[in-house]
Structure 1
Amino acid sequence: MRKWLDLTGKLENGMWNYGEPFPDIAIEQVASVKTHGYVGHAFRLHSLAGTYLETANHLFADREKLSDVGLERMVLRAWVAQLPDKASLEPIRADELEAAVGALLEPGDALLIATGWDAHWNLPDYIESCPFFEAGAMDWIVENDVSLLGVDIPSIEDPRKTSGEMPLLTHYYAKDRLLAAPLVRLREAGSGPWTLAILPLNIPDVCAAPCRAILYETSK
């Protein structure tokens, strides 16, 4: 038997968005059975709409784009760090990650971090007050050679920063790692192991795109 868990947030009108320069997500019905004989919709999205997969090209112009990433890097073993529910602007620490998955994680694995913040999806504080990583937590992730990091928060940087610099993400992308964010329903996943399949829209020459993120396990 195979167990499946969908980690993908819904794309819908009026949902949260990162703001300028990204346009609001819009989904519009443009055809109906009554008028056209069939139903059709138009979508306005962007690279960081809803749940997305991102490469280092987001910050480094000369790094790999999403179309350069092989499928074998999008289907891999994943562990879930089940952290205590994080409050607004509460940091994620290295010792929490070590306690949750330090004995399980192997180089090249995917690491998914559950903070419970997906409960705030579409609430006013979702972006402005989200939990964030301490520098030591990102050091721990890099040192453990995580190949794909998935989080249920919309940003790993402190949202109160106004400089526009992203030192933690820059450190993570020093090698061509992948980032999946923001995920939902990680609280239902336990610790794993799972197989993660994360498949973005097939759009050439972009650093990121909306994706479908699925966990599955096979029991013998």
Structure 2
Amino acid sequence: MNTSGSYRMIDISGPVHPQMWHYPDPYFAPEIFDLPPVSWLTEPVYSEAVRMPLQTGTYVETAAHVRPDGVRLDDVPLARTVLLPAVCVQVPKGPGEPVRAREVRRVLDNIGPGPWDGYGLLISTGWGTHWDEPDYLDACPYFDDDVIDEVLAQRFSLLGGDTPRFENPAAPSGHLRRFFRSDALLLAPLANLGAVGSNSGHLIAAPLPIRRISASPVRAVWVQGLGV
């Protein structure tokens, strides 16, 4: 956590490393390796290379993930991912438990009356503490269908969570395709959301400037106390 002036920044990204979890094939764990010595410089330099799917660690994703004609990240304005007004709600869950819309609404009502049109919504289940545990991917909590209904009804512009799967892994309903029919972005999986609490603030999750991609790893940061 960094503090500067009247605001503070909280890193809400999960760490990337070769032994981390990853989605099933064709996805794979990140590979990080040293590059050989550089022959065109007189002084030695040291560099690394990374090979990994774009949905590695914490990433932002567009509708192009589920349909070829969806918007690509290089067409998304920076204001959608840099200092985006956002709210974070704490809805603690155990392995395999669903997050329900009524639980999200209850916390939102305590934060403020809205409207939340254009805001980002981050949902913290506490699962981020399992980032390096064997059950992280297969036993994670998930969002019930009515959470997606709520996000669309409230016109949130981004949905983020600290779980690597938003749908029920045992019985996926396809609600992410319905989610992506809107203009909303997906941000997941996050970590350290417990340090944010149930709060309003601003979100930074800028994608890499790579052309024509549907997803990008990000360094996600919560900014508290910045003001309007």
Same fold (TM over 0.5): yes
Cα separation, partners in 2 of 1:32 and 1:96, compared to 1, 3 Å: farther
1:181 aligns with 2:188: yes
- The correspondence for 2:165, drawn from 112, 136, 155, is 155
- The correspondence for 2:86, drawn from 71, 78, 88, is 78
The answer to whether the Cα contact below 8 Å between 2:203 and 2:220 also exists between their aligned partners in 1 is yes
Code of the aligned partner of 2:19:
G
Cα separation, partners in 2 of 1:216 and 1:125, compared to 1, 3 Å: same
1:18 aligns with 2:23: yes
For residues 123 and 16 of structure 1, the distance between their equivalents in structure 2, rounded to whole angstroms, comes to 8
1:36-115 equivalences in 2 (<5 Å): 37-75=44-82, 76-84=84-92, 86-102=93-109, 103-105=112-114, 106-115=116-125
Cα separation, partners in 2 of 1:159 and 1:100, compared to 1, 3 Å: same
The answer to whether the Cα contact below 8 Å between 2:85 and 2:201 also exists between their aligned partners in 1 is yes
Once the 2 structures are TM-superposed, how far is the Cα of residue 31 of structure 1 from its aligned partner?
4.2
Gaps of 5+ in 1: none
For residues 146 and 194 of structure 1, the distance between their equivalents in structure 2, rounded to whole angstroms, comes to 14
For residues 99 and 205 of structure 1, the distance between their equivalents in structure 2, rounded to whole angstroms, comes to 38
The answer to whether the Cα contact below 8 Å between 2:91 and 2:103 also exists between their aligned partners in 1 is yes
1:217 aligns with 2:227: no
Match of 2:143 in 1: 133
| CA-based RMSD | 1.7
Gaps of 5+ in 2: none
The answer to whether the Cα contact below 8 Å between 1:3 and 1:218 also exists between their aligned partners in 2 is yes
The answer to whether the Cα contact below 8 Å between 1:111 and 1:148 also exists between their aligned partners in 2 is yes
1:28 aligns with 2:38: no
User: What SS does the corresponding residue of 1:212 show, helix, strand or coil?
Assistant: coil
For residues 173 and 215 of structure 2, the distance between their equivalents in structure 1, rounded to whole angstroms, comes to 17
For residues 68 and 113 of structure 2, the distance between their equivalents in structure 1, rounded to whole angstroms, comes to 34
Code of the aligned partner of 1:23:
F
**Percentage of identical aligned residues:** 36
User: What SS does the corresponding residue of 2:220 show, helix, strand or coil?
Assistant: strand
Code of the aligned partner of 1:67:
D
Cα separation, partners in 2 of 1:38 and 1:3, compared to 1, 3 Å: same
Code of the aligned partner of 1:80:
C
Cα separation, partners in 2 of 1:40 and 1:166, compared to 1, 3 Å: farther
Code of the aligned partner of 1:181:
A
Q: TM-score, normalised by structure 1?
A: 0.92
For residues 113 and 29 of structure 2, the distance between their equivalents in structure 1, rounded to whole angstroms, comes to 40
For residues 18 and 91 of structure 2, the distance between their equivalents in structure 1, rounded to whole angstroms, comes to 31
User: What SS does the corresponding residue of 1:98 show, helix, strand or coil?
Assistant: helix
The answer to whether the Cα contact below 8 Å between 1:127 and 1:159 also exists between their aligned partners in 2 is no
For residues 160 and 129 of structure 2, the distance between their equivalents in structure 1, rounded to whole angstroms, comes to 16
Post-superposition CA distance 1:160-214 (Å, at most 9, x none): 13xxx66211111111210100001100002222111111111111100101111
